[in-house]
Amino acid sequence: MSTEPTPPAELDATLVEALRYGPFPRALRTAIAHRGLSLARLGAHLDRMGVHVGQSTLSYWQRGLRHPEVPRALSALRALERVLSLPPDSLVVLVGPRTRPAPDRQPVGSFVQFGSFWSGSAALLSELDVPDEATRCNGELGVLSVHDMINIDQHRAQRSSTTRMVVQANTAGPDRYIAMYHADDDSSVETCEVRTSEGCRTGRVRRHRESAIMVAELLFDRRLTEGERHVFCFSLHEDSTRPSPGSNRTFREPSGEYLLQIAFHRKAMPARCTSYFRLRDDAEPTHSEDLVCGIGGVASAYFSRVGRGLAGIGIDWD
């Protein structure tokens, strides 16, 4: 019996748009969903073609936690196009050559536009009266401390995350914080629930399924005065079915301390956990360190001061 992938079929409109406009993680995620393959099945197809790409790497790629390195990953990208029945070079062109980033001319303490994070986020922010071009999201608040606790269930999927933040008002008047979340997949973002406890209540919530992102408005009980510090806590509960590749938080401005913890179910302990910091989601880590799961199956990564970039923990299951 032949193990060759089926020839390219007619693509639906959502997949055509993803391949045309990208970015690469969205296109890959949409193509995998369109083909109806699990990451394990996809990896098996690639293995039969003589191309080995780990399941964790595929998960990183489709979530945007890592980026294929060109030209080293060209054979893997072309094999993915064949397995997923995509037109030749449709994924390759979305990765493109690695280019040297332009110098960061943002002065220290300035805020990068929140809407540039993921495709679809600008429209969601606009619905919350945060125009992408006109307003720096959360620009009136300085982040002093963040603590994220992620819970992984017995199926290796992320079940919930709890965030406690300490912020300080840069000017008088801020009365809310806009939180953006990138779910494991586009189906779980539809069912993801925001729950609040101390210091805030849930305002408007908007979702963009194609990009698997959610934007939530967390309302304070009053307007803060200039220099006032405020502590608030909220949690996200989702129904993901995919093994989690880990978690990270994007910092678009220099911030204070960050503590990220991942708690594993006793029946789903990881093979390895690694903390890392990247300047961009497609860059190699500037810092990485193996972590030990301590008593209770918790891996912890502490960052004393965080610059612009992504701080996180990667999970290897096998």
Cβ proximity of 292 and 235 under 8 Å = no
The pairing of beta strand 213-219 with beta strand 287-291: unpaired
The pairing of beta strand 257-264 with beta strand 141-152: parallel
Beta bridge pairs of residue 160: 151, 237
Looking at residue 22, what is its pLDDT?
75
Beta bridge pairs of residue 18: none
Both tokens assigned to 13: 């409109």
CA distance 266 to 102: 45
Cis amide leading into 23 (omega within 30): yes
Q: Is 200 helix (H, G, I), strand (E, B) or coil?
A: coil
Start-to-end CA distance of the chain, whole Å, equals 30
Cβ proximity of 272 and 290 under 8 Å = yes
Q: Where are the alpha helices (DSSP H) in the chain?
A: 13-21, 24-35, 39-48, 55-63, 74-83, 92-95, 121-127, 188-191
Distances (CA, A) of 121 to 20, 54, 211, 256: 18, 30, 8, 25
Looking at residue 82, what is its pLDDT?
92
Looking at residue 242, what is its pLDDT?
85
Both tokens assigned to 162: 């709890």
Looking at residue 125, what is its pLDDT?
66
Q: Is 300 helix (H, G, I), strand (E, B) or coil?
A: strand
Looking at residue 65, what is its pLDDT?
67
CA distance 128 to 210: 19
The pairing of beta strand 193-196 with beta strand 141-152: unpaired
CA distance 49 to 77: 12
Over the chain (318 residues), what is each successive 10-residue block's mean pLDDT? 46 80 83 88 90 85 75 86 89 64 32 39 62 61 94 93 94 91 72 92 86 86 94 91 89 89 94 90 83 90 89 91
Looking at residue 126, what is its pLDDT?
64
> Which position has the token pair 């893997």?
76
CA distance 178 to 105: 25
- Domains, in order of start, for the chain: 13-95 (1.10.260.40), 114-316 (2.60.40)
Give the DSSP letter string of 106-154: PPTT----GGGSSTTHHHHHHHTT--TTT--TTTTEEEEEEEEEEEE-T
Side-chain half-sphere of 135: how many Cα atoms within 13 Å? Answer: 12
Looking at residue 108, what is its pLDDT?
28
**Measuring CA to CA, which residue among 125, 111, 150, 134 is closest to residue 273?**
150
CA distance 215 to 206: 5
Side-chain half-sphere of 144: how many Cα atoms within 13 Å? Answer: 11
Beta bridge pairs of residue 215: 180, 206
